Structure 1
Amino acid sequence: MQCDYFDAGVCHSCTFMGEPYEDQLARKQRQVASLLSDWPDLVWEPAFGSRQSHFRNKAKLVVGGTADKPTLGILDSHMRGVDLRQCGLYEPCLAASFETLAQFVQRARITPFDVATGRGELKNILATTSPSGTLMLRFVLRSTEALPRIRKNLGWLQEELPQAAVITANLLPERKAVPEGREEIVLTDQDSLPMQLDDVTLFLRPQSFFQTNTPVAKALYGQARDWVNSLANTVGIAPLHIWDLYCGVGGFALNVAGSGRDVLGVEISEQAVESARLGAATAPENATVRFMVGDANAAARAEGSSLDILIVNPPRRGIGALSDWIEKSDARWLIYSSCNANTLAKDLTAMPSYQPHAARLFDMFPQTSHSETMVLAQRMR
């Protein structure tokens, strides 16, 4: 992939830019395999690669400049807006919306937030696209000051972007280096974005998390389903008790659900659990899958330890103290999906009763050093 912004020194987010993709993928595989070298018998499935460009389904656009000439992209070292509307990372239907979004800022006279002075209203625009091309647009504001003008011009935006199914205003009054606040004001009748992944439909509410690379996310969930199917066929346990901790909108739970399986998903985000329950309503009639709001660590200890397969997909910091509970649980198998192989290795070391058998790297983030790694481990004692 070639990028004019990178070549001009404007943006260096893609640290592997210019390196042949095959070399990027091989380098990531070596790095992750080295971190998991304490398990020499680990069998690696072939790494799952990505499109080199136009793969991101979500854009986090920092808004800078002025209401007359807004920039959509990032801030430079002096906290000034840098426009990256032509960035090649985004899915085409998402990138095609950026010009209209800039025009909307002008039309609604929304002053971009200025970090240096603390003045202005519009901090970020968060845009997500589904596999069908529908959009969720979120305007992150300092206050409600611009809300009347956003509502007034909403009809124009919907005419220009009829694929925008969900539009919201998110309030972030604090001066924090975070992309969004807690309060969400939904401006459309629809408040969730359906994500169709073959025979499973996930629903994203505004503050729900979903992997940023849809084809790779499908492969990640598919690998977990294949492993669970293989285990179910081998052991013949019915019902098969499966827990999905840090379940988000239910990607893993809904993909491994099926006849003869009792699946429980746990997630601390209420909005994510609401989304997961929408997905569960579309699951096959013979699938028993339920979701609860709660901290993964506390919920696991409260629910007990009677389960066959445990799936964890934690944030970058890993599972921490939960590893102690897992080590003492009666879970026969563990599927650990990680966006940070360093904490993955640390957590596996803290659970010596589990022997990792299979692993696979999923290149969720081409042009960067980041990747997703999933490991299947069996309790040996």
Structure 2
Amino acid sequence: MSFCSYFDAQFCHSCGWIDYHYSEQLKLKSDHLHTLLNPYQPEVWLKPATSALKGFRNKAKMVATPSLDGVVLGLSEEVSLIECPLYDTSMQKALHTIQEWLRELGVKGYDIRLRKGELKYVLLTRSKSNGGMMLRFVLRSHGIVARLQNALDDLRGRIPELSVITANIQPIHMAILEGDEEIFFTEARRLEERFNGIPLFIRPKSFFQTNPDVAEKLYRTASEWADESKPKILWDLFCGVGGFALHCAAADRSIVGIEIESEAIECARESAAQLEMSNLRFESLDAATFSATAGEKPDLIIVNPPRRGLGEQICKWLTRVGSERILYSSCNATSLAKDLESLSGYTLKRVQLFDMFPHTAHYEVLVELVRE
């Protein structure tokens, strides 16, 4: 028996390793990483950075399903996940209240088979640093926007932590999480978070790590590794809301962060402004586009690509740039290993696993590459 009643009842299989002892989970992940990276002969293997086993996740993604009792937030009509132990008690309580409030309003969950109903998903994100929450309703159309908006004072009275509330319009009959249009119900448009004392901001569509405690360890480690050689020029590619760049900021260091998602860049710029760092610049560009216009050669490059990895084109460009060091943060060690084949001229100095996703086979890894 695990500590999750949903898993034990075979209602939810998202945490496929939850009944493994945590030491066994870490061993399986470490063995997998060793198998992938041993051919590149890392000089140093560091101990994995571990996670809490419950209450570590800061974001809930709930499918809104119709039932005879009203909308169900979870996986299906039979499976509500509002008491998922991956969320802390404040998020569980908020999800309970949101589901109850939606039922009182008579909001219908979207029926995939009949293509009826308005509410598709409920997305809830919590700031670890101040407890504030961002709530997003993903809707099929504008049909119930006014109804939700008119009842928000009641909801905010029940959940005072709600600081950002939006409706996202996703009209397509496909398993797509969100659409292009975001309607803000609150004056606040972003959620503030702090990692290691660094201000970070979460907007509705910007990517943000879902395990704050382990993310703090990851950013702190990257900062420590970066500082060892005291780089004067640093590039942060696929920078998101600027976590790595902001943690590596220094008065005598020029940093450029590149990210294609404009909302994330707005967040990163706001963080830089709060820190009053004029030598920290963020641009909304595709990494490949930046590669064609980049200027002075950096001493250090940090890359944090999506699961597909960097790809051969960017790897070859990085090889031509010839930075003395590359820090590569990856959520998919398989694509990382493939990219290492294309990053010729570099030695794999050290590797550390960060267990961002307990009870699953997934993990984050940070590696340091040094030019031969």
Q: What TM-score range do you get, normalising by the shorter chain?
A: over 0.9
C-alpha distance after superposition, 1:151-178 (max 9, x if no partner): 1100001101111000000110112222
Matching residue of 1:184? 182
- d(CA) in 2 for partners of 1:68, 1:109: 10
Distance 1:376 1:223, change over 3 A: same
C-alpha distance after superposition, 1:308-352 (max 9, x if no partner): 111110110001121111111121110000000000000011112
Matching residue of 2:279? 288
Q: What is the RMSD of the two structures over their aligned residues, measured on CA atoms?
A: 1.4
SS at match of 1:280: helix
- d(CA) in 2 for partners of 1:242, 1:104: 48
Q: After the TM superposition, which residues 141-220 of structure 1 pair with which residues of structure 2 at under 5 Å, given as runs?
A: 141-220=139-218
Matching residue of 1:98? 95
- d(CA) in 1 for partners of 2:310, 2:30: 22
Q: After the TM superposition, which residues 1-381 of structure 1 pair with which residues of structure 2 at under 5 Å, given as runs?
A: 1-66=2-67, 68-75=69-76, 80=77, 82-131=79-128, 132-232=130-230, 240-283=232-275, 285=276, 288-304=279-295, 306-320=297-311, 321-380=313-372
Quote the offset at 1:97 in angstroms: 0.6
SS at match of 1:178: coil
Give yes or no for contact 1:323–1:351 (8 Å, CA) kept in 2: yes
- d(CA) in 1 for partners of 2:40, 2:296: 26
Structure-1-length-normalised TM-score: 0.94
Name whichever of 59-68 and 146-155 sits farther off. 59-68
Give yes or no for contact 1:280–1:289 (8 Å, CA) kept in 2: yes
C-alpha distance after superposition, 1:25-49 (max 9, x if no partner): 1110111111001122431111000
- d(CA) in 2 for partners of 1:125, 1:92: 18
C-alpha distance after superposition, 1:83-121 (max 9, x if no partner): 111111112222221111102211332211011111111
Task: List alignment gaps of at least 5 residues for structure 1.
Answer: none
Give yes or no for contact 1:261–1:287 (8 Å, CA) kept in 2: no
Runs of 4+ in 1 over 3 A off after TM superposition: none
C-alpha distance after superposition, 1:198-250 (max 9, x if no partner): 32010111111100000000000001000011121xxxx5xx11111111111
- d(CA) in 2 for partners of 1:224, 1:287: 21
Give yes or no for contact 1:203–1:276 (8 Å, CA) kept in 2: yes
Give yes or no for contact 1:260–1:287 (8 Å, CA) kept in 2: no
Specify the code of the residue in structure 2 equivalent to 1:24.
Q
SS at match of 2:23: helix
SS at match of 1:83: coil
Give yes or no for contact 1:63–1:81 (8 Å, CA) kept in 2: no
Give yes or no for contact 1:67–1:106 (8 Å, CA) kept in 2: no
Distance 1:356 1:305, change over 3 A: farther
Quote the offset at 1:130 in angstroms: 0.3
SS at match of 2:122: strand
Specify the code of the residue in structure 1 equivalent to 2:25.
Q
Identity of aligned residues (%): 40
SS at match of 1:167: strand
Count of residues in correspondence between the two structures: 369
Quote the offset at 1:286 in angstroms: 5.5
Task: List alignment gaps of at least 5 residues for structure 2.
Answer: none
- d(CA) in 2 for partners of 1:85, 1:286: 41
- d(CA) in 1 for partners of 2:150, 2:68: 16
- d(CA) in 2 for partners of 1:351, 1:335: 12
Specify the code of the residue in structure 2 equivalent to 1:177.
A
- d(CA) in 2 for partners of 1:41, 1:304: 31
SS at match of 1:319: coil
Specify the code of the residue in structure 2 equivalent to 1:293.
S
Quote the offset at 1:65 in angstroms: 2.1
Quote the offset at 1:67 in angstroms: 8.1
Specify the code of the residue in structure 2 equivalent to 1:2.
F
Specify the code of the residue in structure 2 equivalent to 1:106.
R
Specify the code of the residue in structure 2 equivalent to 1:139.
F
SS at match of 1:97: helix
SS at match of 2:6: helix
Specify the code of the residue in structure 2 equivalent to 1:273.
I
